[in-house]
Copies of this chain bind each other. A is one copy, B any other.
Amino acid sequence: MKSMTKPILQALAGEVPSRTPIWLMRQAGRYLPEYRELRTKARDFLNFCYTPEMATEATLQPIRRFGFDAAIIFSDILVIPDALGQPVRFEPGIGPKLEALTGRAGIDALTPGRAAEFLAPVYEALRQTRAALPDETALIGFAGAPWTLAAYMIEGSGSRDYQTARKFALMQPEAFETLIGILEDAIAAHLIRQIDAGAEVVQLFDSWAGALPAYGVSRWSLGPIGRIADAVKAAHPQARVIAFPRGADSFLTQFAAHPSIDAVSLGQAIPPSRLAEVRQAGATPQGNLDPVALIAGGAILDAEIDGILAAGAGGAHVFNLGHGITPETPIAHVEQLVARVRGAR
């Protein structure tokens, strides 16, 4: 199969790839002048995400510039609550704002039935991107994981410790489980439709998994993510699933051991020595360069890249950051990174 020659698909299949594949979380974004220029043409951020031509162009920009091994569709994890009838707006300099869910009534008012139609522009962007991508570049779809989306939906915004959402989970358990269930179904369907539209890989971002107490990780992070991965695999056995349970550092091997999770993305707090642990538990490690080292550049950046490459050598590994690239990252440092990873063998 031709697509299996793509290095990232080799690595996600657990094979030693022909070269270490690299892509970067938020690789399409504000650190690129061509992105900032494009962004001025949209009314607001979600309008940008929902305009297939713009989302496609943003997705392609970093591929043209850096030749990454994968393109990740330009979108946002909060399109799911937006599609479920809990409108999201992005306040410049502040972040996402939603009308917070406070109980059962708000959950019962969600509209899962309209999500497919609402999100049609995302799938159209995937089709357009797929058609425009070089043959050797993989296409990645993504979604937020249920806990992270529930946390935004209950808090109404980002938060330092997501305590309102954590209280909701414990004190309104039936309503919370209902919400997690609705999100599981909506996310699985969204990922399956992204694969229908051309994605070969999907990534689940559980950005706030680290805010969960230990007893909540299996119930609200690993459990739902595993079931979503199972549903994706049932519909598309050849698709690859990456889980990013950010901050759930005591549970990496449990995520890695799940049969439907092909890769686990690691934050920069994970020592490179743990890449082998993830691999041994049954998944490909992805990561995990510190985005701040990428801002710093120079010898510091080289040393960090080399340490991660050494830890990943000899087995399946997808090079990435431990978190999204920041807007202030110099483009020359991204060039330095790609050259060093490509030159490594």
Which A residues lie at the B interface, using CB under 8 A? 158, 160, 163, 166-167, 170-171, 210, 212-215, 217, 247-251, 268-272, 274, 288, 290, 292-293, 295-296, 300, 304, 307, 322, 326
What is the CB-to-nearest-CB distance from A172 to chain B, in angstroms, rounded to a whole number?
Answer: 10
Q: Are A292 and B326 in contact (CB under 8 A)?
A: no
- With A210-B269, A215-B290, A249-B269 already in contact, 12 other A-B pairs whose C-beta atoms are closer than 8 Å: A158-B160, A160-B160, A163-B326, A170-B293, A171-B296, A210-B210, A214-B269, A214-B271, A214-B290, A215-B307, A217-B269, A251-B271
Q: Are B250 and A270 in contact (CB under 8 A)?
A: yes
A167: which of B210, B249, B271, B292 is its contact (CB, 8 Å)?
A: B292
Q: Are B158 and A213 in contact (CB under 8 A)?
A: no
Measured between beta carbons, the chain B residues less than 8 angstroms from A292 are: 163, 166-167, 170, 213
Measured between beta carbons, the chain B residues less than 8 angstroms from A295 are: 167, 170-171
Chain B's closest residue to A303 (CB) is: B215
Measured between beta carbons, the chain B residues less than 8 angstroms from A212 are: 269
Main secondary structure of the interface of A (DSSP, over half): helix
Given A170-B296, A292-B167, A296-B167, do A214 and B270 touch, yes or no (CB 8 Å)? yes
The 7 A-B pairs with the shortest beta carbon distances in the complex, nearest first, are A213-B290, A249-B249, A213-B268, A214-B271, A170-B296, A166-B292, A249-B250
Measured between beta carbons, the chain B residues less than 8 angstroms from A288 are: 214
Distance, CA A290 to CA B219, complexed state (A): 15
Measured between beta carbons, the chain B residues less than 8 angstroms from A214 are: 268-272, 288, 290
Q: Are B210 and A293 in contact (CB under 8 A)?
A: no
Distance, CA A270 to CA B210, complexed state (A): 10
Distance, CA A336 to CA B274, complexed state (A): 40
What is the CB-to-nearest-CB distance from A214 to chain B, in angstroms, rounded to a whole number?
Answer: 4
Distance, CA A50 to CA B41, complexed state (A): 56
What is the CB-to-nearest-CB distance from A339 to chain B, in angstroms, rounded to a whole number?
Answer: 20
Distance, CA A8 to CA B295, complexed state (A): 46
Distance, CA A250 to CA B271, complexed state (A): 7
Measured between beta carbons, the chain B residues less than 8 angstroms from A290 are: 166, 213-215
Given A213-B290, A247-B210, do A300 and B170 touch, yes or no (CB 8 Å)? yes
A215: which of B163, B171, B250, B304 is its contact (CB, 8 Å)?
A: B304
Q: Are A322 and B213 in contact (CB under 8 A)?
A: yes
Measured between beta carbons, the chain B residues less than 8 angstroms from A250 are: 249, 269-271, 274
Chain B's closest residue to A269 (CB) is: B214
What is the CB-to-nearest-CB distance from A177 to chain B, in angstroms, rounded to a whole number?
Answer: 14
